A and B are shown apart, each in its own frame.
Chain A
């Protein structure tokens, strides 16, 4: 019997005996405890949004500072800055609008506000004049009667 034959037989025996042995779990892998996420009130969500906006503003200013420094040093830079355009992820699930073009401490303007439409003529408003209720038809009737009378006089002569 050649040594290769012994090796083959041993390998077969090992393989057969290995399939017979059942797998056994002796422990349970416990996942790490997850932090319970508190419910975030709407007011705090707004606050988060504001902080995100200010972070973007800081990044924008830093970018401008770096660009100006680069210009001063004679280094070519591209104006496009992906950080400026990035909208910060909102972990509260509230969609965040892109920051306004000018957020340098100016007053917050509600762009959804629209002035109330002025009342149309013929509608009530404070201090409105009384409606015009004159008709020209009495005057037209008088004029018509006068014309007929004058025309009849002219024809009679």
Chain B
């Protein structure tokens, strides 16, 4: 009887520790997300100040940002998704928001721009994205609108990301969305840049 009570107490303590760890990570993620949004707003404000100087120097040139730096804003109006994209896809970066894969193009530039996020956080609703949906991005270089053209599910570890000559936006997360533990597959969406006239920019 006494041993069973002790075991029950130990299980409650262990369970509380696990819940605390999970809740702590969620709280840290919320703080990091707010910090990324505030930093993005500051960067936009600074950008407005130095835009004239940069134009005088001859165009926009985005240096490789440090890991964790906000680099873009990602919106999917139909899903109500509005996130600040940070540089990097490590644990710390993905805690703050969707991560831009270093080495890939920036949204709007020529090439494949890859943005990934956790399926249980920032890209929780990504599974509902449909072909034909509109995705909006905004970088320090300016806004861009995309139309989803392709949905792919690939096995984990399989080649999935390739270079492109034209601007392409690739959104990735783990699949299935509702699965617990390591996900066996990856969900990828490919979006093509809408012309400026069609985007009404």
B114 x A151 contact (CB < 8 A): no
| Closest Cβ neighbor of B14 among chain A residues | A147
Q: Does B159 contact A (CB under 8 A)?
A: yes
- Of the listed stretches B33-41, B135-143, B182-190, chain A binds B182-190
Taking CB as reference atom, which chain B residue is nearest A150?
B11
Which of the four size classes fits the interface of chain A? 35 or more
Best-surrounded residue of A127, A144, A152 (most CB of chain B within 10 A)? A144
CB contacts (< 8 Å) of B14 on chain A: these are 144, 147, 151
A 94-136 binary contact with B (CB < 8 Å = 1; else 0): 0000000000000000000000000100111111111111111
Q: Mark B44-65, 1 if CB is under 8 A from A, else 0.
A: 0000000000000000000000
**Do the beta carbons of B174 and A126 come within 8 Å of each other?**
no
Scan B160-201; emit 1 where CB is below 8 A from any A CB, else 0: 111100000000111000001111001010000000000000
A-B CB contacts (within 8 Å), total count? 144
Given contacts A128-B161, A133-B119, A154-B11, contact A122 B88 (CB under 8 A): yes
Closest chain-B Cβ to A144's Cβ sits at a distance in Å of 3
Does any Cβ of A come within 8 Å of B118's Cβ? Answer: yes
Question: Please, what's the 1-or-0 string for B71-106, where 1 marks a CB less than 8 Å from any CB in chain A?
Answer: 000000000000000001110001000010111100
Q: Is B161's CB under 8 angstroms from A127's CB?
A: yes
Given contacts A133-B94, A139-B180, A155-B12, contact A126 B162 (CB under 8 A): yes
Q: Min CB distance, A150 to chain B, in Å?
A: 5
Cβ of B128 within 8 Å of any chain A Cβ, yes or no, is: no
